[in-house]
Structure 1
Amino acid sequence: MAKSKYYLTAFSLYFTYFIHGIGVSIIGQYKQDFAGAWGATTITDGSFDVSAVLGVIAALGLGRLISLPFSGPLSDRFGRRASGLIGVGLYTIYFIGVAFSPSMQIAYGFALIGGAANSFLDTCVTPSVLEIFPENGSVANLFTKFSISIGQFLLPFFIGMVTAMGMSFRTLFIVATILIALDGVLIAILPFPKKETENSKKEGTTKVKNGKIKFNLLTIAVVMIGFTCTSTFQLWLNCNQELGKMYGLADPSKIQSFYSAGTFVAILLTAFLISKGLNATKVLILYPTISFVMLLVTYFIQTPTMTLIAGFVLGYAAAGGVLQVAVSTAVSMFPDHKGKMTSIVMIASSLANFIILTIAGIITKAGGINGPKYVLLFNAIITFIGILLAVYVNLKMKHPIESAQVS
Structure 2
Amino acid sequence: MEKMQSRLKIGLFMNYLVHGFALIILTQNLIELSANWHSNLATASFVLSGIGIGRLLAYLIMGAISDRFGRKTTLIIGMLSYLIFFIATPFNHQIFLAYLLSIVAGISNSALDSATYPLFTEFNAKSSSNNILIKAFISIGEFILPLMVIFLKDNQMWFGLSFIFPAIILVLNLLNLMTIKFPHASVNANSNLKSQLNLNGKSKIMATSALLVYGYTSMAVMIWFTQWITIFANSIGFNDWSAHFLLSLYSIGSITGVLSSFVLMKKFNLRNHWLLGMNMLATISIATIAFSRITLVSMIFAFLFGFSASGGAMQIALNILLNIFPKHKGIFTGLYFIFGSIASFTVPIITGLLAKFGSPQIVNGDIIVAIVGLISAIVIFETVPQNNDLEKSRNKINNIDSKIVRLLEKRFKVVEDVYAAKKQQNIATKDQSRENVVLKRINEMTNKSEIKGFNQNIFQNIMDNSKKYQELLKTMNKE
Q: TM-score range by the shorter chain?
A: 0.7 to 0.9
Q: Where does residue 314 of structure 1 map in the other structure? A: 305
Asked if structure 2 preserves the Cα contact closer than 8 Å seen for 1:84 and 1:120, the reply is yes
1:239-388 maps to which residues of 2 (within 5 A)? 239-250=228-239, 251-331=242-322, 340-365=331-356, 367-368=357-358, 370-388=360-378
1:88 to 1:97, Cα distance in 2 relative to 1, 3 A: same
Deviation of 1:27 after TM superposition, in Å, equals: 0.9
Q: Where does residue 82 of structure 1 map in the other structure? A: 73
Asked if structure 2 preserves the Cα contact closer than 8 Å seen for 1:75 and 1:83, the reply is yes
Structure having the higher helix fraction is 2
- Cα distance in 1 for residues equivalent to 2:209 and 2:61: 20
TM-score, structure 2 normalization? 0.72
1:387 to 1:328, Cα distance in 2 relative to 1, 3 A: closer
Deviation of 1:17 after TM superposition, in Å, equals: 0.4
Identify which range, 18-27 or 305-314, moves more after superposition.
305-314
Selected match of 1:138 from 128, 144, 155:
128
- Higher relative CO (CA 8 A, sep ≥ 6), structure 1 or 2? 1
TM-score, structure 1 normalization? 0.84
Deviation of 1:373 after TM superposition, in Å, equals: 4.1
Q: Where does residue 57 of structure 2 map in the other structure? A: 66
Amino acid corresponding to residue 324 of structure 1 in structure 2: Q
Q: Where does residue 195 of structure 1 map in the other structure? A: 185
- Cα distance in 1 for residues equivalent to 2:58 and 2:363: 33
Query: What SS does the corresponding residue of 1:123 show, helix, strand or coil?
Result: helix
- Cα distance in 1 for residues equivalent to 2:124 and 2:215: 23
Q: Where does residue 45 of structure 1 map in the other structure? A: none
Asked if structure 2 preserves the Cα contact closer than 8 Å seen for 1:290 and 1:317, the reply is yes
Q: Does 1:226 align with 2:225?
A: no
Asked if structure 1 preserves the Cα contact closer than 8 Å seen for 2:147 and 2:245, the reply is no
- Cα distance in 1 for residues equivalent to 2:381 and 2:177: 39
Amino acid corresponding to residue 39 of structure 2 in structure 1: A
- Cα distance in 1 for residues equivalent to 2:22 and 2:243: 19
Asked if structure 2 preserves the Cα contact closer than 8 Å seen for 1:218 and 1:396, the reply is no
Q: Where does residue 35 of structure 2 map in the other structure? A: 36
- Cα distance in 1 for residues equivalent to 2:376 and 2:57: 24
- Cα distance in 2 for residues equivalent to 1:178 and 1:337: 39
Amino acid corresponding to residue 33 of structure 1 in structure 2: E
Query: What SS does the corresponding residue of 1:252 show, helix, strand or coil?
Result: helix
Deviation of 1:356 after TM superposition, in Å, equals: 2.2
- Cα distance in 2 for residues equivalent to 1:360 and 1:160: 24
Query: What SS does the corresponding residue of 1:189 show, helix, strand or coil?
Result: coil
Structure 1 segments unaligned to the other structure (5+ residues):
42-49, 208-214, 402-407
Q: Does 1:23 align with 2:22?
A: yes
1:77 to 1:129, Cα distance in 2 relative to 1, 3 A: same
**Cα displacement string for residues 84-132 of structure 1 (whole angstroms, at most 9, x for unaligned residues):** 1110011111112222221222201110011000011111122222332
- Cα distance in 1 for residues equivalent to 2:65 and 2:321: 19
- Cα distance in 2 for residues equivalent to 1:147 and 1:59: 23
- Cα distance in 1 for residues equivalent to 2:223 and 2:95: 20
Deviation of 1:392 after TM superposition, in Å, equals: 5.2
Deviation of 1:297 after TM superposition, in Å, equals: 2.8
Q: Where does residue 111 of structure 1 map in the other structure? A: 102
Q: Does 1:9 align with 2:13?
A: no
Asked if structure 2 preserves the Cα contact closer than 8 Å seen for 1:63 and 1:114, the reply is yes
Deviation of 1:14 after TM superposition, in Å, equals: 0.8
1:396 to 1:150, Cα distance in 2 relative to 1, 3 A: closer
Deviation of 1:307 after TM superposition, in Å, equals: 2.0
**What percent of counterpart residues are identical?**
24
1:14 to 1:133, Cα distance in 2 relative to 1, 3 A: farther
Asked if structure 1 preserves the Cα contact closer than 8 Å seen for 2:232 and 2:359, the reply is no
Amino acid corresponding to residue 31 of structure 1 in structure 2: L
Asked if structure 2 preserves the Cα contact closer than 8 Å seen for 1:72 and 1:123, the reply is yes
- Cα distance in 2 for residues equivalent to 1:352 and 1:361: 14
Greater gyration radius: 2
Amino acid corresponding to residue 220 of structure 2 in structure 1: S
Deviation of 1:73 after TM superposition, in Å, equals: 2.5
